Amino acid sequence: MLLAWALATGGLAFAIGAGWEQWVVVAHGALGLGLLVLAPWKTIIARRGLRRQRSGSTTSVVLAGLVLLALASGVAHATGLLRTVGPLTAMQVHVAAALGSIPFALWHLVERPVRPRRTDLSRRTILRAGAVGAGSLAALGGLAGVVRLTGLPGRRTRFTGSYRADPAAFPVTQWLSDGVPEIDASNWRLSILRRGEPARGYPLDELDARAEAVTATLDCTGGWFADATWHGVRLDRLLEGMEGRGIRAVSATGYSRRFPVDDADRLWVATRVEGRPLSPGHGAPARILAPGRRGFWWVKWLVSIEVDDTPWWWQPPFPVQ
Ligand SMILES: Nc1nc2c(c(=O)[nH]1)N[C@H]1C(S)=C(S)[C@@H](COP(=O)(O)O)O[C@H]1N2
Ligand SMILES: [Mo]
């Protein structure tokens, strides 16, 4: 159950980006450390199980290994003790290990079922669960105290757990598998579609001329954030007079995100960052700025904006490319 809740809060923390995310992140930390708090008892059970030499022990050991890797990389990221492992960030290792553990955990549930018993709801069990909960929070508080006292980098993270990056040189990063497309800005136009029909088009110089300065935080789920000054046109000004329920921002690569139509006054089409035109890696010629939303909403290499009657939630919760 701890693992299931840790996975759920981890996913939720990626989805949000606003203030109350802090509490989701705290819960996520406590749930993760709760697994460590329970480890001494679980180890006894696991040893006994291994001695019986049933089939599938290897699968259980892989599950344990992945959970340990997720815990270790989570602690490494949160404290700042180890933030990169070769080409990967500790956060990427954390997410990969956590996602990788899911099939093994499901297998474990099916092959090693623990039937619910009446005593699961006894006073004693509830007191014990409370003790584990208190122990987990104490472990989290203790870890935060150690980070502060020893001056580890982890004390300077944002409420999402991300580390500050230089706004003039923050990383170029893709959600999963996108490559940087080459777009000829002189032929490029931002197409606006209404219910599938082309309605308007904005060339780059018009967007540039209408752009205003916006200071916003790009917070990548990879574990870094940048407070930069962008130049962009507010989306409601490009969509004036258009009706619908959802706005879909589409990249030249096919990557896309759908937003609620009411957010149009909180989204920008940006053409510059820190005074300079966007570089190809950062989304040239134009990208979405979505302050308050995590990085995967900030669609790069924008080619079209579609307004239609599809609600914003009609999409996978996270991009799939
Ligand atoms: N088309 C497209 N846009 C994208 C992505 C992507 O993979 N494809 N990745 C997103 C993610 S996860 C982040 S954090 C930001 C990164 O922006 P940057 O490369 O300018 O730092 O772009 C977002 N926009
Ligand atoms: Mo990201």
Question: Which residue lies with its CA nearest to atom 24 of ligand 1?
Answer: 299
Distance, CA of 197 to chain centre: 33
Atom of ligand 1 nearest to the CA of 226: 21
- Listing DSSP states for 40-108 in one string gives HHHHHHHHHHHHTT-TTHHHHHHHHHHHHHHHHHHHHHHHTS--EETTEEHHHHHHHHHHHHHHHHHHH
Q: Buried (b) or exposed (e) across 50-59, using 16+ Cβ within 10 A? A: eeeeeeeeee
pLDDT at 19 over 80: no
Question: Which residue lies with its CA nearest to atom 13 of ligand 1?
Answer: 295
Around 230, how many Cα atoms within 13 Å sit in the side-chain half-sphere? 28
C-alpha dihedral sign at 213, 214, 220, 223:
positive
Q: Residue 34 has what pLDDT?
A: 97
**The tokens of 236 are what?**
């409601």
Instruction: Find the mean pLDDT for residues 70-93.
Output: 94
pLDDT at 17 over 80: no
Q: Residue 115 has what pLDDT?
A: 87
Atom of ligand 1 nearest to the CA of 281: 19
Around 214, how many Cα atoms within 13 Å sit in the side-chain half-sphere? 25
Instruction: Find the mean pLDDT for residues 37-63.
Output: 91
